[in-house]
Amino acid sequence: MRMQKSQVHISCLLAWFLFTGCVVTRAAETPVYRLDGGRSTYAFGVNERGELQTLYWGGRLGPNDQIPAAHSLPEWASFDSSHTNTPQEYAGWGGGYFTEPALKVTFADGNRDLVLHFVKATPGGSQSLEVLLKDVSREVYVTLHYSIDAETGILSRSASIENREKQAILLEQAAAAQWTLFPGRYTLNYLTGRWAGEWTLNQEPINGGARVIESRRGSTGHQANPWFAISRDSQKAGGPITADEEDGEVWFGALAWSGSWRFTIEQTQLDEVRVTGGFNPFDFSYKLNAGDHLETPVFYAGFSDHGLGGASRLLHRFELAHVLPHSPDPKPRPVIYNSWEATEFRVDEAGQMALAEKAASIGVDRFVMDDGWFGQRKDDHAGLGDWYVNPQKFPHGLKPLIEKVHSLGMDFGLWVEPEMVNPDSDLYRKHPDWVLNFPGRPRSEQRNQLVLNLARADVRDYVEGFLDKLLTENDIAFLKWDYNRNWSEPGWDQVPADEQRRVYVQFTRNLYSIFSELRKKHPKIEIESCSGGGGRVDLGILQFTDEVWPSDNTDPLDRLVMQDGFTYAYTPQVMMAWVTDSPHWLNGRSTSLTYRMLSSMQGSLGIGANLNHWTEEDFATAKRLISAYHEVQPTIVRGSLYRLVSPRNNSPFSSTETVSRDQSQAVVFGFVHGTQEGRGFPFLQLQGLNADSNYKLTWIEGKTLLPTPEVASGAWWMNHGLLLDLRGDFKAAAFRLDRQP
């Protein structure tokens, strides 16, 4: 963080405002704060009213450039006040502010006006800063936390809201941060979906008014994901053309929160674009008693001058280096086998052991037993909540299976769904009050289950307790942590009526604290966040979980499109991708094992097929490709991803390339989904290689259509490129390039 002028206390500002009134003097006296990282600069200052005003966010400025001091923007006729026109870093609702506020408060006396002014800034080294704001008359303080990553330029922002009034106040809206882009034409990119159809990338022009993307479901949700990217539309001749995959300016952000959330993307009447994001204000209120404070989640955001591809590469790098549990160096995920699609609930000792033997024979690293092993779980009607090993299915407990898995050279993982309960369970019979509910009202079941109210301390302790016991008594390396419904009737009658809505914060905080305690007590444990597929994927949960399950839909073609969408926001390191059976259970589509394997090899590979039905040839194919995958996995999951050909918009082709950070290796995948009218696969010009180094091509699968050199320079692969021999339906190819000494 750099400050151009010495820090000015609010009293100085007020004195200056009262006694000068001269614009030139103001410019000299108000402080400007500047954060530089990667290829971007972020700056804000204090304007003459004392508001914290956004000054700049974009490509990196010169080290000696002076950013002009903040001045509020003028009133636009009498209808749009200067307060509403001036972009603030964190605006309270009050003082004639009409656009989306960051914070909205009701005081005990009915006052609902909140105007936040600058008090002081405290630098925390060159990369971070804390700014204290205070209401103009009431004892409500907001500390804004800023830090910037030196490598990627990604900013982390959050707010801490403190009530120093003598009486409680009610927060009705509390954002983590607000971001402002200066007037222009922009395109919004965001991810939506549904069960078995997650990760659709939507792109639409930003017009006047507000666009809301959100979850009201208590958790992140399948419907929309807390990520956005806003690309600038070129106004040059032939335009407007929005920034594309590799060119143009893009501002992007992701919220680290696994509860209900909301982004409001708003074009103001002066054509600025403001993004406000944090706790979802819908059905929200948070009572802050005197002396209490509320921390918001962290809202990460960055800037790319290399289009959406550049934006996602920055995010991937940041997630690996700063978000994931083992950052900065999370190890590539083990290749797993999971029994769900093979057996569903019909798990038992002999059946799992037989699958484990087969999985080990193809080079799998981790064997995971899915749903069905506990309580009286025969199907989805019973058992959730009763976390004892089912004695009929596993008469000797889990130990014999775990030992067998270990003897085969794999580690062992287990499915759990800790936050849920079936009404048909001993737990519910004992504690019917433990679920989210409004007393005397119906309790809506989904998948025959109810949601335990994790905001309650006793429920939180129960969940942590049974998981701790499970992990202490069994040598378990991995938990697949599932969550198969959204909230309904989110009542919490244990606390007073005006505090019940704290459930939206406390539930998720307690979830995070369970993860955190378990990881402390069992430092080797690894966890997957699964929510009936990709219903709980966000940068909040990824601080505690090593991987996520993007979708229950494992069809390899659908997955190519979903993987494309997923990687705009999240690194392939966390993107678990299983190879399952053909024809696929969801759509009846038949595909070859090679096609399915290559589709899954774009992420962190897993096998979820029924190995009891595989032929000798299937085992040989899988063994060969798992071995090839192991060799290049670090590049695929940690490298720089280039989407060479997008599978979106019903494209018959798709291709990705990943280049290792040191440019020593590239891995390329190509897929044709259905050749039409004899059209050939597009010529592939690779990216991100060192033009002057020589690279040797090795096929993992497939060949080129035209003669191609075995060794050629990076310049050759990037400029001349190559033509894959890919024709027909559901065909795939993959190769690697290795830099030659």
- Residues within the interface to ligand DGJ (CB under 6 A): 340, 370-371, 415, 482, 484, 530, 532-533, 549, 552
Instruction: Go through the chain and tell me how many residues it has.
Output: 741
Q: How far is the CB of 584 from ligand DGJ (least distance, A)?
A: 14
For ligand DGJ, the closer CB: 40 or 219 = 219
Q: Which residue in this structure is represented by tokens 């700056």? A: 43
Residues 6+ apart with CB under 8 A from 110: none
User: 325 preceded by cis ω (within 30°)?
Assistant: no
Closest distance between ligand DGJ and the C-beta of residue 552, in Å? 5
Q: In angstroms, what is the minimal distance from the CB of 532 to ligand DGJ?
A: 5
Least CB distance to ligand DGJ at residue 605 (A): 16
Q: Which two tokens stand for residue 18?
A: 């009262």
Which CB, 552 or 657, lies closer to ligand DGJ?
552
Q: Which two tokens stand for residue 537?
A: 């994927």
Measured from the CB atom, the residue of 284 and 373 that comes closer to ligand DGJ is: 373
CB of 412 to ligand DGJ, least distance (A): 16
Residue among 340 and 515 whose Cβ is closer to ligand DGJ: 340
Q: How far is the CB of 65 from ligand DGJ (least distance, A)?
A: 51
Rounded to whole angstroms, the Cα distance separating 562 from 134 reads 44
Q: Which of residues 103 and 401 has its CB atom nearest to ligand DGJ in the complex?
A: 401
DSSP secondary structure of 168-192: -EEEEEEEEEEEEE-SS-EEEEEEE
Residue number of the CB atom closest to ligand DGJ: 371
Helices (H), ranges, 426-540: 426-430, 457-473, 503-521
Q: Minimum distance from CB of 338 to ligand DGJ (Å)?
A: 7
Centroid of chain to Cα 478: 21
- Assess contact for 344 and 336: CB atoms under 8 A: no
3-state SS assignment for residue 645? strand
Cα–Cα distance measured from residue 339 to residue 352, given in angstroms and rounded to the nearest whole number = 8
In the bound state with ligand DGJ, the residue whose beta carbon lies nearer, of 53 and 484, is 484
Do 157 and 144 meet the contact criterion of CB atoms below 8 Å apart? yes
Residues forming a β-bridge with 704 = 724
CB of 608 to ligand DGJ, least distance (A): 8
CA dist 58 to 38, 46, 401, Å? 11, 19, 55
Lookup result for tokens 């990338």: 201
- Closest to ligand DGJ by CB, 70 vs 548, is 548
Nearest-10 Cα torsion for 531, 535, 541, 545: 40
- How far is residue 161 from each of residues 176, 179, 297, 304, measured CA to CA in Å? 10, 18, 12, 31
User: Would you say 100 or 371 has its CB closer to ligand DGJ?
Assistant: 371
SS3 99: coil
76 vs 345, which CB is nearer to ligand DGJ?
Answer: 345
Active site residues: 482, 552
CB of 595 to ligand DGJ, least distance (A): 21
CA–centroid distance for 610 within its chain: 31
Contact 227, 308 (CB under 8 A): no
Q: Which two tokens stand for residue 532?
A: 């009936």
79: alpha, beta or left? (left if phi > 0; alpha if psi -120 to 50): alpha
Which has the closest alpha carbon to 419: 408, 430, 427, 411? 427
| DSSP labels, 51-75 | -EEEEEEEEPPPTTPPPPPP-PPPP
Closest CA to 481 of 495, 461, 466: 466
